[in-house]
Amino acid sequence: MSIYQFFRSPVLVPSVGIGLVILSAFAVMNTQTAKSLPDPIVTNSSIASEGKEVAVFAGGCFWGMEGVFEHVKGVNKVVSGFAGGSAATAYYDQVSEGNTDHAEVVQITYDPAQISYGQLLKIFFAVAHDPTQKDRQGPDVGRQYRSAIFFVNDDQQKIAQNYIQQLTQANIFSSAIVTELSPLREFYSAEAYHQDFMARNPSYPYVVIHDRPKLEQLKRQFADIYVN
């Protein structure tokens, strides 16, 4: 078990003071600078303008991803879970081993009349994670932490492909975008103790070091759609 797996264990909750000291030493080497990105040129105008839609993104630990999108206007619900592998291995202990084909993901249910799929992608690439890290995200290493978009229809696939191309051509990032695009075959909810983790554990060392800064960036860069 790595030091970060230790601090992500649901049963090993260290004191905040000690945890911050130890994690801070590692976090210095894994600091991500949030990016100011252009709006997607291609919007989801062909997707229904009312009702509910679902987006599924993977970008490292789902605690922070969930915490970010829970504060976005137009988002009705965010669930942490797994995608990419089979039902038989859709359990945190197994996924953490890194050989199940699953990624830690968030399933975002949103109102397309209030926020577009393109806007969600912009947040995903700008503040929710670093799309240039291959099979890892900051301190978390393994295929389960890959950057990925699991599209649920052809519209989402096209929008995501075009936006990645747009960002690449604009040289937004100093390294190549490695985000994978895959069709969503099935989404599996993670265990109950992972749900709303950031909101329920605001002082947890891992959350303080790696997740709360993302929320602050969301508040600064997307003030018009940030909700408490």
Q: Which residues are catalytic?
A: 61
Residues 6+ apart with CB under 8 A from 151: 56, 157, 160, 181, 182, 183, 184
How many CB atoms within 10 Å of residue 94? 16
Q: At what angle do helices 62-69 and 212-221 cross, to 10 degrees?
A: 30
Query: Where in the chain does DSSP place strands (E)?
Result: 53-59, 75-83, 103-110, 136-137, 140-141, 147-151, 180-183, 187-189
Burial 131-159 (b: 16+ CB within 10 A, else e): bebebbbbbbebbbbbbbbbbbbebbeeb
Reported as half-sphere exposure (CB side, CA atoms, 13 A), residue 11 has a value of 1
